[in-house]
Each structure stands twice: as structure tokens, then as C-alpha cells.
Structure 1
């Protein structure tokens, strides 16, 4: 049978297309592409820019062609020079870039590699600033992302030595000097309860708790008694019984304040007194603190606790930890583990940052697209069915930690778990900025309903107007992440999500007093060309410019929240008004909301930026303030300036000492470093606002915050959180320390040194050994070793006494069986030191040459 020419041509074309597709997929599978990235030089060409080299390696058996592919990756950088070696680097959105061949490309031969020079604005200072999340996409299979491994060889000694950090934390001698005032205190001499109680007296005797030690409780404390039995079952061979009489008694005392408790341990038993279940719960945490730290390693027949008399209550009623699970997701199990940690240290607020540009992490059943689209990161050409990769999540969708969410059932479980531990969960609906995941999800909903012919329903929860031609770019690089607050549908959306959250809290039996509605970092240029804004301006005389939309938005949210019995929480911008001072724009506390019980989480106090006193301005202006300062309590900031220390550095560095020495009512008095981590003696406060007595009454508490751009594993999350969280716990619970009272003086400095020494000994000898095994164990950061060579001997010290310091003298890496440091070492040559915890985990290796 002969085919007609036209039909034959059609069939051949179809075959060619099919062959092309199959070939394309074959190429995608067969290519073996990897990359290597290495920083080369800061201050490149004498400018504020840095040079690095990305080596693209083709280990395949066939050539990578001169066209038809793109290499994607995340890089938090501004790239002014995008061309090199026949390749062009281009910005997409957020932190996503791609490299693709240009007209000068001749491909990469099989077995060959090419070096692509990357020049970015600013310096490269640590490992966190490296590009990550590489994947390649071929034009023949435009929806398929192929992961590309990246190798990060250690930078050259010349590059390391050029860093300012090489003169500070890169130098073991500097670490030694930082630790020199820390004395070793015997474990038997340390306070037994942490955080520090208001009053504690150690008395003679001990009480032995066994599986036969029954627990009796006032009916008000039934849940707490059962909780205590469950906790003791984790260290004892069997769970103690609940009975009418027992060796541990939970007694009601109506004279005590809400969170106050009394704890008495004698050789006859344990008595806990409280007026509320909350107070009884905190007494239980103190009883657990008395249990020997290593008791959680294995179950035993009994544990012995010291006899004490304790009277205790917290300094602040609001003791919070904020966790961001939007930028990188954490599972329900990890969240429950964090709640256990918080409860141990008497923190009582979990600020749950579940929505962001890069992800929406809680199922809202009435708007399923929020998680169907907004919780999934992966390669996309249009962001219609999932959102683009961010923060090293790669191009493959539905992979942790870039993708993931809590189902409605899981979120309710989290709420119940927190409530049982007397922790209130404050959810955050980021708005109107930081809302890209929600925006893209609602665009997906809009398209589906429009296709179904349901135009009115399609527009009901839409968050943007496609006719809005406003141009902007957020601090994080997004060009499409802000809700159009002139649209009525935005308020439909916020109300719907709020109502769904309220229903979940009711089902969980969890308290809900406030919802955090975000409010930070809306960039300039937003709404300027919005048709909805122009329409609203014509009908509402109070709106004269786009700044007024800000007050309009939070005013409407305030009305909505009040109707539901809630008050507004937000970042500081929610309580600020733009005005003019000497012809320049400036911000003041907005009088519109000053007495509306707005609760502001004030973070912006970067030392040297000019807003160091912002929290005090807002508190003096009538706003309830949760102190959340980047200077002392941003746990995502690197511990120090070492190139090898992970974490961000834009706001300085935060180690365990920063939250510990934070003075809530006069923190400027005790500033020790600027926003770049450089020591400062006296901060000029002549133009700064001091906290008034009225303002002091508006400081509701403290918050530590862990943003999650770099928390790509649960281990990294715990590393960044611990032991910093312990400094926060002490400062939020314990009474004002002696060293903080009065004017700055040598005596106060001595008081501080003594308090700091006691604190770090408690952390190293009691709390970290406990956390090695408590509820499965936590991968806290082990500090660097300080080293000093003096008169032919090497001296070593550590920030947290109690950890083992081990060393080698043959240049090998220290291991768990290496020699323990007990005093100055006289051996010559290359000595290597590292700290080890009770579970034999090792910290960073520090090296010194003893001549």
C-alpha cells in the first residue's frame, strides 16, 4: 500500500517528534553533570564585590550540547556580571537563578569541564552564602528537573586569611581570650533547677523516686499528675500510679499567683503547691530538673532527687519561641519535639510562622489550594501548580524540606500537645507582604473556577489584580509577593483562613487570643499602579496615597479580629506611620492603633542602623511589645564570624551569651557588639528614646526566633536553636539579675562574670548532658576550643565546661578515644583539639602548632 505524500509526511513528522521526545528523555537520564563551587576573592577589582568560580563538570560519555539546557540554583546574591565562557546567568525571582548557553557557547565535551566566573555584589563571608539546590532542565523535557550534585571544596588559605573573621573567631587564640574569665565550677556546687528560680534553699536529705512512688493530686491537677507519671515512665522501669495518697503530692493553694508554685522535697516525699494547673506544671519541670541529667539515657529502678525548698514564678508572662516552617518545612514529629523542649524550660508561647513567600504549611480545608499548590516547591515554568524552588530545595517536587505541610488532623494534634504543656500557639498569616505562596495558590483556584464557568466564586478569594502594573522587589528578591489590600477579596481570604483556624483551635480545645497577621517588609512601589487602589481612593477620602492603604488594611483587620474576640499581633510595621521630618520620610508610632491592644513583635534593632530604640518608642506609644530583637535573639544568625560556621550574618552574630546578657528594659546599656559583630564599648544613646515606666508596663515578654532559610535538616534546626534557647529561657523566667541593676560599674562587671560562669557551667554540666537523651536527644552545637601557646605549652579552654576536650599530637583528627585534656600540653608539633559531649559527638577541630 502506497501512502499519499501528505499523509506520509504527517506520519514521518509524528515519528520525528516521538523520537525527539524519547531522545530527550534518554539524554536527561544519561547525562552525568555535577558542579563545584569555590569562593576566590573578596574586594574583587577593588570594588565591593566578590569573585567565585562555578565549575560545571560533564562526566558523561557524550557532549553536553551548545544549546538546549539550563542549570538552575538558589543563590541569595545580586549578580552584576552574568556572562562568562559562553554562558549567561540570569535572575528569575526570589533567590532562583539559571545559567544557560548563549550564542558564544560551544557546549561541554564529554569528560570535560568549564569554569564559570561568578561576580556578586558584596563579600562572601561564610558557607551559608554559597549557591545551592542545583538542577538541570533540558529543552526536550522542560518539566523534568534532574538534580545536580554540588561539591564545595575548602577555600584556599589565601581566601580564608583575607577574611576579617580570620583575625577573630577563626583564630583559636581569640576563642581562648573570649573564654578566659570562665571558671570551672564542680557539678556538686551548681544550682539544681534551671531556669533560675526566684528562691531556692537546698536542705539536708534526698528522696528516691521509684516505680512504686505513687502520685496524688487535687482534682484540678489531674492532667498534670498524669503528665508527671508519663514523664517519670521515661526514666523509670515502670510508670508510677495515680492514687489518693502518694509520695508525690500536687496540692492546690489559692494564695499563689497563676504561674507561681512552691516545691518542697524531703526524704519523706515531694509536695507541689499551686493555684492553677499552669503553676503545677512548672513545678513538675523543676522536679524534672532535679533528676540527675543522665537519667534519660536508660531506664532505671529509681532516681534520687535532692531535698529543696523552692518558691518560684516567672518574670515575664510571655516567654516565646518562634519557628519558621514556611521557608523550610519541619514535620509534626519535629514540632512536637520542640514543644517538649520549650516546656522543659518553661517557655509558654509557640509563635508558629507557617506561611511565607516560599510555602504555606497548614491545611485550610475550605481553601485546599493553599497546600495543594502553596506547600509544594519544585521546578515550574509558570508557578501555576506549584511554586518555584527556594533555599536549596531543588527542582524535584514533594521533597522535604522544601515541600510539605501539616494536615488539619496533624495541626490539631500539635495544638493539643502544646495545650497539654501549657503552651499557647500563635499562628501567623503573613500579610500583605511575604504572601507569594498564598497568592499563587489563589491564582490556581481562580483559573480552575473560571474554567468551570464560576466567575464570581473564582474572584472571591483572589489576592492580586493582574491589571496592577506596579513594579517592586522585596528584600528577599520577590517581584510578585504582596497582596493588593485595595481588593475586597483580600479581606474575604483573611477572614476565611481566620475562621478555619478558629474552628481547629476549638476542636483541639486550645486557647486562641490572637493571630499574628505579619505586616513586615512591604517594598516600595507596591500598589502604585493598582486599579483597585485608584478606585478605592476615589470613594474613600481618607486614602490619599499608597501609605494610607497600610492603615486601612490593619484597621479592617482590627475590626474583623475584634468581632471574633481576638486582638491583632504583628511585626513592628503594623504599628508604625510614615510621616516627614525635616523634609525626609520617617516613621513614628501610629496613634491610630496605640490603644487598640495591638501586640507588636519588634525585631528591628540592628546595632548601627538607627532603629535601636524602636521597641521602646512603640511601647511608650501604647503598643504591647514582645521583644524579638535581631541583635540578641535571632537564632538563625551564625554563632560567630568563622567562614565555616553556618547561619546568616546580616544582623550580627548570636551565640548563647547574646540572649543571656540581654536586658529587656535597658538593653542598650549592655550592648557589646555592633551589627557586624565588632566589639563596642559605649553606644551613643544621646538621640535614642529610653523606656518610660508606662512603656515598661507594655513590655509583655521576650521571644527567640528561628528563621529557616538554612534549616535544611532537623539536625541543622537543633544546631541553630541550641544552646541559644537556654539563654532566652533564663532571661525570660529568672528575676532581674544583680549585674543589671544600677549604673555600669566594675562591680556590675564582676557580678556579670560570676553569673555568666555559673550559667555556662549549668549548661555544660547539667543541661547539655540531659539534652543528649531527653525525648530522643537534641543535636545542639558543641562550641569551639580556645587555644593559646605560651612558654612552650598549649593551653585549652571551652565556653561550656563539662564537655570533654580531647587532642592528638600526631596531626590526626581527635576521636572519642583520644587523650583528654587535663592541663597544659608540652608536646611539640601540630596539635589538634576538639570537644566531645556525653554521647561522644564531636565539635569542630581546632589546630595549633607548638614550636
Structure 2
């Protein structure tokens, strides 16, 4: 496998010896591959010091070509002679082949400038034939709980591309913050993007970071992120949560909440603040026509910013106590002829399912949206284990598998006391590597509804990019191999072989400055007293 991550489908050695790249090596881009050539010059060219001109007199060249006979994201990388070829079934396939070329050049090809200028570069004389197992190879990044500045998001898109991941699930809104500018509703960011403080520690004895926390992306920031992702053949799927996980929006526009209940409880006019703690807020959107019109306006601007086929609407963890206590919500339920509050939530999700479908988009939501039925085009993110995904696929819905038991990367990697802010279950590198996205209970026809899988990185306890790195890597590399490579059954996977290849891959991660968790054990952690180094709310340490 030449220490490649993710492992390719086939590698054959063409001949002994090494192929050489030098200052005379030219890079020739066939029709449709111009963007890949720009990326190669900007990254590999910058790291190696090679100019990679489009024309020249030397025999050595790298040729990029689209070959429709190859699978859409498949590629063929042939390095046996002076005419090196990267062919793909599409520009995306050529790009994934270019990522493999970069890995073969070694860790220094991942730097931003040459560390040994003037050297020539060598490649093994091999042919790599490869294609992905799944079309959806995703990473969710939660920027609502802890905001990640734009440069950090762009960095993670580069890291995704380096691992051949192609869907970025952008979790933009939640109780603790609203992160995307909506021009017609400016208070969503003026008020909803900032909270007064942040909670750490146990429920019984919480600790507080008393500094305000917040931030948001302007619409031009979003356009830049989406364009940057597209250059790397990554689709950005936005998530705007409804009807739960919406306290930040209600703080900005109190009329979105159940004002009769809130006023009766002493919050005049329904006033709330952006939530400063974790868990599930009891404050949810009111099921009114005005709320629907408000969010239609939000989604109209979201659709202008994000061209993705899918739009994620959340739909999870909607506590219904306010609806039960609200005379207005109960009157609305009866008016709609609904039996209970569960059906009221289904009505809410169903409205936006139809609204998005009418505009040529597809709704996707967490597996709670199955409760009450879905329109045929809607898809499900199965996070509460595999059961939601199984039920959705059997009902004919497309599924993205992301069970918290295996691919929630905010969960701790070790049960020792040195693991920083441990939450959730222990999920080791091996646990992730043995994840199987397609449940064996599905028939072949049902299994075709599994679009792929996604690793989720929530940020309640992940306050900056160094902690995101520590939680994500090396487990994200294992996940990338699961969703790209045609691996055997989980029990038969070569964990030792993967870890051996990772020994080389750590050098690549070092070169781009990823603060991964070392394979030998927890990294010594510099804690801020009273803030880091203590468990936050979550399942018991050994559950």
C-alpha cells in the first residue's frame, strides 16, 4: 500500500528504481483538469520548489486527464515512465489522484515552502488504481458551541481533502450560538452569535469561563468557504436547526418562542438569552405561521449561499414541554388535526421538507425526523446507533450513518486521567477503524440507500483548533479509510497494518501542523485551572 492513507484499491510496481521530478518537469492539464493543476502548483509546487510549468522542452511531465471510462471519483495514477499520468473519471477523480501523488512525495510535500531548496524529488515507479466505496464521506464540524474562525474552517477543508473526504456538514446554529449572517434578520448575529459566558465542569459543581464567546460568518465568508471547498471537490451541507436547538434564535427574536409560556414563567415578552450551558434546552420554536415564514426567509438566503443538494434541518432532541404547556401551541395542534406533540414536530419538519423539495433541494435531518413519517426524497442522519438508519433504508429513504457509539470524535480516546476534558464513551483508533457503515441486517436493495457515513465533531468541550485537532486525529484518518477503501468485515480488518501505515502518515500530519493525539498515549496537556482538565456533563466515564 506504499503507506498510503486511505489504502488504495490496487497498487502495482511497474519497474524497479525511482521516477524523478525536477525543475524541468512540466504539468500539463487536459480539458476539465485546470483546477487540479492550479491546486498542484499552489500546494505541491510551493512545498517542493518545483515550478511545474505548463510547457517546456524536458521529457519529464505529469499529465492530467479526464477519462470517462473510469468511475466518477476513481483515478489511475501511472508513474512508471517519464510521462506520468493522473487520469480520473471526472475532475474529482483527478484531484484524488493528485492527493495520492502528494502522499507519495513524502511529508515535506505537505509543507508551505521548501525546507531543502534545490533538491529533486523521487517517486516509486508504480501504478495506483483506486475508487471510493461511498459517495458521502463526511465530517461534521460544530461551530455553534465554540466558534471556529474562517481560517480554521479553510484549514479543515484542506485536511478533509488530504484524506479524500468530500462532504463538510457545517453545523451553524444551536442554542449556544447562531453563526451565519442572515441579511433580513440581522439580530440573529447581532444578538444570537454571542453568549455571556461558557460552562465547564460537572452539573453539581460547574465552573465558568466568564468571558463572552461568539462570532459569525458573513455571507461573503460563507461564499469563500463554499468556493474553497468546491475547488477541493468537497460539498458543504449547511445545518439550520428547527424546531429544537433554537434558543439563540429565540434570544434574538423572542416572538419565535412560546411567549405565552415564557411570560407566565416570569420572562416578560418571552425574553431569553443565548444559552451559556450544555445539554438540551427546553426552549423550542413556536409552531406558528409567523415562525414558518421567518425560517422560510432564513432558508431562502441559505439556499443562495449553499448550492448543495441537501440542506440539514436538525430535527433532533426537541423537548415538547413548552408545547404541552402552551395554550397557543395546543390550539394550533387541534387546528391542524394532530393527535399529539410528536405529530406537531412532524408537521413542522414536513413543511420544510415540502418547501425545500419545491426548490429542487432535499431535506436531511437527524433520525428523530423518522417519527411521524417523511416525504420520499428526505434523507436521514442516523446518530442514535444504527436503528434509525436501518428503519430509514427499509422505508426507502437515503441514509448517512454516523452513530455516536463509533464515530463521534468529541468522545474521548482513552479512559486515563490525562485525557483532556473527557466526555462520552471511550472510542479508540481501533474502534473507529472497525466501524462498518452498512448494517448487515439490510438487504442488498436496502443497502443501496446507505449513501455513506460521517464522523461528527461536536465542540462543547473543544474550545479551539488545538483541541479539535486532538479529538479528530488520528481517528479521522481511520474513518477516511473506512469510507474510501473496500475493507473486509470489521473483525477481519488489519488494524496492525493500518497502524504501521499511520507511522508514515504522522509525518504528513506533523508537516501541516496537526496536533494529533500521539499513538503512544495521552499528550501532556497544559490546562487552564478551573476550565480545562475536568469532565463535562456526559455519560459516565466507563459506560
TM-score normalised by L of structure 2: 0.87
**Aligned match of 2:256 in 463, 468, 491?**
463
1:488 aligned partner: 289
Seen in structure 2, the aligned counterparts of structure 1 residues 722 and 223 have a Cα distance that, compared at 3 Å, is same
Alignment of 1:687-698 (within 5 A): 690-698=441-449
Offset at 1:276? 1.2
Aligned to 2:411, the other structure's residue is in SS state coil
Pair 763,479 (structure 1): closer, same or farther in 2 beyond 3 Å = closer
1:727 equivalent among 472, 478, 497: 478
Residue 319 of structure 2 corresponds to 523
Q: How does 1:245-264 map to 2 (within 5 A)?
A: 247-264=61-78
Cα distance, 1:303 vs structure 2: 1.7
Match of 1:423 in 2: 234
TM alignment of 1:504-653, pairs within 5 A: 504-505=305-306, 511-541=307-337, 543-577=338-372, 590=373, 592-593=374-375, 596-605=376-385, 613-650=387-424, 652-653=425-426
Higher relative strand content: 1
**Structure-1 separation of matches of 2:42 and 2:181:** 30
Please give the alpha-carbon distance, in whole angstroms, between the structure 2 residues aligned to 1:441 and 1:258. Answer: 44
- In the TM superposition, 1:27-46 aligns within 5 A as none
Match of 2:518? 782
Which residue of 93, 111, 130 corresponds with 1:312?
A: 130
Residues 299 and 440 of structure 1, relative CA distance in 2, 3 Å threshold: farther
Q: 1:501 to 1:712 in 2, by over 3 A?
A: same
* CA separation of 1:218 and 1:294: change in aligned 2, threshold 3 A: closer
**Take 1:365 and 1:281, find their aligned partners in 2: how far apart are those partners?**
35
Please state how far the C-alpha of 1:396 moved relative to its aligned partner.
3.2
What is the count of residue pairs matched by the alignment? 500
Aligned partner of 2:528 in structure 1 is none
Deviations 1:637-686 (A, max 9, x none): 00011122125443x2112112211122247xxxxxxxxxxxxxxxxxxx
SS in 1 for 2:185: coil
The CA RMSD measured in Å over matched residues stands at: 2.3
- Where does residue 531 of structure 2 map in the other structure? none
Deviation at 1:295, TM superposition (A): 4.1
1:232 — aligned with what?
44
- Pair 1:405 & 2:216 matched: yes
Q: Superposed, which structure 2 residues align to 1:284-303 within 5 Å?
A: 284-296=98-110, 298-301=115-118, 302-303=120-121
| Partner Cα separation in structure 1 for residue 211 and residue 70 of structure 2 | 56
Q: Is the 8 A contact 1:620 1:695 kept in 2?
A: yes
* Alpha-carbon shift at residue 343 of structure 1 (Å): 0.2
DSSP-derived class of the 1:195 partner = coil
Distance 2:348 2:521 in 1: 51
| Pair 621,478 (structure 1): closer, same or farther in 2 beyond 3 Å | closer
State how far apart, in whole Å, the 2-side matches of 1:414 and 1:728 are.
Answer: 23
Distance 1:230 1:556 in 2: 45
1:438 and 2:249 correspond: yes
Shift of 1:244: 8.2
Q: Which range is displaced more, 315-324 or 408-417?
A: 408-417
Residue pairs, 1:316-327, within 5 angstroms: 316-327=134-145
Seen in structure 2, the aligned counterparts of structure 1 residues 479 and 603 have a Cα distance that, compared at 3 Å, is closer
Secondary structure at the counterpart of residue 330 of structure 1: coil
Higher RCO (CA 8 Å, separation ≥ 6 residues):
2
Instruction: Give the Cα–Cα distance (whole angstroms) in 2 for the partners of residues 372 and 343 of structure 1.
Output: 33
Q: Which residue of structure 2 lines up, in the alignment, with residue 455 of structure 1?
A: none
Please give the secondary structure, in 2, of the residue aligned with 1:300: coil
* Cα deviation, residue 464, structure 1: 1.4
Q: Distance in 1 between matches of 2:430 and 2:449?
A: 26
* C-alpha displacement of 1:521: 0.7
User: Which of 170, 173, 190 matches 1:352?
Assistant: 170
Q: 1:283 aligns with which of 66, 81, 97?
A: 97
- C-alpha change, 1:423 and 1:540, in structure 2 (3 Å) is same
Counterparts in 2 of 1:259 and 1:559: CA distance versus 1, 3 Å: same
Question: Contact between 1:203 and 1:308, CA under 8 Å: does it hold in 2?
Answer: yes
Matches within 5 A, 1:749-764: 751-752=492-493, 755-764=494-503
Does the CA contact (< 8 Å) of 1:637 and 1:647 recur in 2?
no
Alignment CA distance shift 1:393-1:220 (3 Å): farther
Q: Deviation at 1:523?
A: 1.9
**Residues 295 and 552 (structure 1), Cα distance of their counterparts in 2 relative to 1, 3 Å cut:** closer
Report the TM-score, using the length of structure 1 for normalisation. 0.56
* 2:10 aligned to which of 199, 218, 236: 199
How big is each residue's C-alpha offset from its partner over 1:91-112, in whole Å with a ceiling of 9 and x where there is no partner? xxxxxxxxxxxxxxxxxxxxxx
Unmatched runs of 5 consecutive residues or more in structure 2: 201-206, 266-274, 525-543
The answer to whether structure 1 residue 710 and structure 2 residue 461 are counterparts is yes
Shift of 1:694: 2.8
In 1: Cα distance, 2:281 partner to 2:459 partner: 21
Shift of 1:537: 3.2
Regions of 4+ moved over 6 Å = none
Whether the aligned pair in 2 keeps the contact of 1:292 and 1:303 (CA below 8 Å) is: no
Q: Any conservation in 2 of the 1:323–1:707 contact (CA below 8 Å)?
A: yes
SS at match of 2:12: strand
Contact 1:636 1:647 in 2 (8 A): no
Change (3 A) 1:540 1:614: closer
Residue equivalent to 2:506? 768
Is the CA contact (8 Å cut-off) linking 1:230 and 1:239 kept in structure 2? no
Alpha-carbon distance in structure 1 between the residues aligned to 2:116 and 2:252: 49
Question: Once the 2 structures are TM-superposed, how far is the Cα of residue 281 of structure 1 from its aligned partner?
Answer: 0.6
- For the 8 Å contact 2:257–2:283, the answer to whether it is kept is no
In the alignment, is the contact (CA less than 8 A) between 2:146 and 2:462 conserved in 1? yes
How far off its partner does 1:561 sit? 0.4
1:44 corresponds in structure 2 to: none
Paired with 1:530 and 1:282, the residues of 2 have a C-alpha distance of 53
CA distance in 2, matches of 1:614, 1:563: 26
For structure 1, list consecutive stretches of 5 or more residues without a partner in the other structure: 1-189, 379-387, 444-461, 506-510, 578-589, 606-611, 668-689, 741-748, 787-833, 836-851
Cα displacement string for residues 436-457 of structure 1 (whole angstroms, at most 9, x for unaligned residues): 11110113xxxxxxxxxxxxxx
1:662 pairs with 2:479: no
Q: How many Å separate the matches in 1 of 2:253 and 2:116? A: 51
Structure 2 residue 304 is matched with structure 1 residue 503 = yes
- CA apart distance, 1:258: 1.0
* Inter-CA distance 389–293: structure 2 relative to 1 (3 Å threshold): closer
Larger Rg: 1
| Structure 2 SS opposite 1:549 | helix
- Contact conserved, 1:377 with 1:390, CA < 8 A, in 2? no
Residue 340 of structure 1 is aligned with which of 158, 174, 182? 158
Q: Which has the higher helix share?
A: 2
| Structure 1: distance between partners of 2:278 and 2:44 | 46
Would you say the 8 A contact 1:225–1:242 is kept in 2?
A: no
